[in-house]
């Protein structure tokens, strides 16, 4: 069994930009665990432990053939589940024809997993010492946008949990048509 999710590991130049945003939020009055630079990705669906990797790979290949590569824009900062109770901070990701959301919905229908809109996780929040100030900072960064890049595939990524943090390995890549 492998603990997996479906996503897209970010290109190096985009990771550089995201790390700058992480540095900004790390200065917020809160305690958080930042996602490691090498693990920055767009998440389509967290699957958890899966037994039949071959079946999942086949379904992912089928889904990928339904969609064309798309240009993605990194959007602003968001709090999950909401700004009154912040557990995770993410960057929104958008594309012109809503292909990312369509891919995510097809993955959810055919393969399963969680049902969150595609996003880039920045950190997991452990404790906030000044909720009002953090809410203000999120509001300031909500409408910022970042770089554009092309998503030309979706990846089945194994997540091995270690003391130093998770180690992500792409175990299958399905090219978009």
Q: Does the annotation mark 172 as catalytic? A: no
Give the CA diameter of the chain: 48
The pLDDT value given to residue 31: 96
Q: Which two tokens stand for residue 137?
A: 């900072």
Whose structure tokens read 């992480």?
22
Query: Can you say how many angstroms the Cα of residue 98 is from the centroid of all Cα atoms in its chain?
Result: 16
Which listed residue (15, 41, 78, 106) is catalytic?
41
- The low-confidence residues of the chain, meaning pLDDT below 70, are none
The pLDDT value recorded for residue 35 is 95
Q: Which residue has the tokens 């969680």?
A: 114
- Which residue in the list 59, 78, 106, 119 is annotated as catalytic? 119
Check if the beta carbon of residue 118 is closer than 8 Å to that of residue 100.
Answer: yes
Distances (CA, A) of 127 to 31, 123, 174: 5, 12, 38
Q: At what angle do helices 99-110 and 53-65 cross, to 10 degrees?
A: 150
Cis ω for the linkage preceding 81 (within 30 of 0): yes
Beta-bridge partners for 56: none
* CA 77 – CA 92 distance, rounded (Å): 7
Q: Where are the alpha helices (DSSP H) in 27-125?
A: 53-65, 99-110
Q: pLDDT at position 39, please?
A: 95
Sign of CA dihedral 109, 103, 50, 92: negative
The pLDDT value given to residue 83: 83
Quote the pLDDT of residue 46. Answer: 92
**pTM listed for this prediction:** 0.92
Helix (H, G, I), strand (E, B) or coil at 16: helix
* Second CATH level (architecture) for the domain 2-175: Alpha-Beta Complex (3.90)
């Amino acid at each position: 069994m492998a603990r997996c999710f479906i996503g897209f590991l970010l290109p190096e130049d985009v990771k550089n930009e995201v790390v700058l945003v992480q540095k900004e939020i790390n200065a917020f009055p809160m305690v958080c665990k930042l996602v490691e630079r090498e693990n920055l990705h767009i998440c389509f669906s967290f699957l958890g432990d899966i037994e039949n990797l071959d079946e999942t790979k086949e379904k992912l290949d089928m889904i990928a053939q339904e969609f064309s590569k798309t240009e993605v824009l990194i959007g602003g900062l968001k709090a999950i589940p909401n700004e009154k109770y912040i557990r995770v901070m993410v960057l929104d990701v958008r594309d012109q024809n809503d292909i990312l959301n369509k891919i995510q919905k097809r993955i959810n229908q055919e393969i399963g997993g969680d049902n969150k809109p595609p996003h880039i996780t920045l950190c997991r929040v452990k404790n906030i010492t000044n909720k009002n100030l953090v809410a203000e900072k999120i509001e300031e960064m909500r409408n910022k946008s970042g770089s554009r890049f092309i998503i030309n595939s979706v990846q089945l990524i194994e997540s091995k949990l270690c003391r130093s943090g998770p180690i992500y390995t792409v175990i299958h890549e399905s090219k978009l048509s």
